[in-house]
Amino acid sequence: MDAHKKIIALNFKTYAQSAGAAGLRLLQACDSVAKSNPAISIIACPQQQDLSLAASTLKSAKVFAQHSDAARQGAFTGWVSPASLKASGVEGTLLNHSERRVGEAKVAEALEACRQARISAIVCAEDVEESLKFAKLSPWAVAYEPPELIGSGISVSSAKPEIVRQFISRMCKEAPSVIPIIGAGVSTEGDVAKSVELGASGVLLASAFVKSSDPKGLLEKMVASIEG
């Protein structure tokens, strides 16, 4: 994928508002906005049971899984294999989200499985030091997400701008090939604009999009805030 594009990654989680037909409408909103704004990379992370549908339906937005395991294809009941994701048309995965922490060793194993399957990975981290530790494992991107702000409606770009600047500065210096993303509390187009202003290459958000009364309109505003 194009590392030079700004990124808006949308985690559907397992909200009622992203299940079944409602989840399909969110996917369609992502694809419509992505088609109209090719300079921005829109990444949809639907519920796991919708991954194949999303990958076969979406033409412009990218499809990532919410989680992947360090598992091969074979006798691994209930596990999510990167190779199987690739076979389903999925382009990437989140790893180590605050709600699905797996630890450094499992992240390293999962990243190697992702590399072998040729899918991208966004590794989530709780602080700057953890971000840099994971960046040394050479994922596609690292998302800095302070757990106390996830779902709070208070954006990390507003609550901790100096720490965000530190994260961006150190990532650029110590892991320049890894894309720096920020998340936690990102809710408005102003939050997105501030995140990019601080130097982030993109944002990761969930509830503000999934629970919005007008998710497509919100996403359009977020894209517009990046494009200026």
pLDDT, tens only, 3-31? 578 999 999 999 999 999 999 999 999 99
- Among 4, 97, 174, 189, the active-site one is 97
- Report the distance separating Cα 26 and Cα 178, nearest Å: 28
Each residue of 176-201: pLDDT tens digit? 999 999 988 888 999 999 999 999 99
- Report the distance separating Cα 119 and Cα 87, nearest Å: 10
> 26 near 12, Cβ under 8 Å?
yes
CA 206 to chain CA centroid, Å, is 9
pTM, 2 dp: 0.94
Got the DSSP string for 94-127? EES-TTS---HHHHHHHHHHHHHHT-EEEEEESS
Profile the chain (228 residues) by mean pLDDT over runs of 10 residues: 82 97 97 97 97 96 96 85 96 96 95 97 95 96 85 74 90 95 89 92 95 97 90
- Among 99, 145, 162, 227, the active-site one is 145
All residues at 6 or more sequence positions from 130 whose CB lies less than 8 Å from its CB, including other chains: none
* 145 classed as catalytic: yes
- Report the distance separating Cα 29 and Cα 209, nearest Å: 10
Could you give the domains of the chain?
Answer: 6-227 (3.20.20.70)
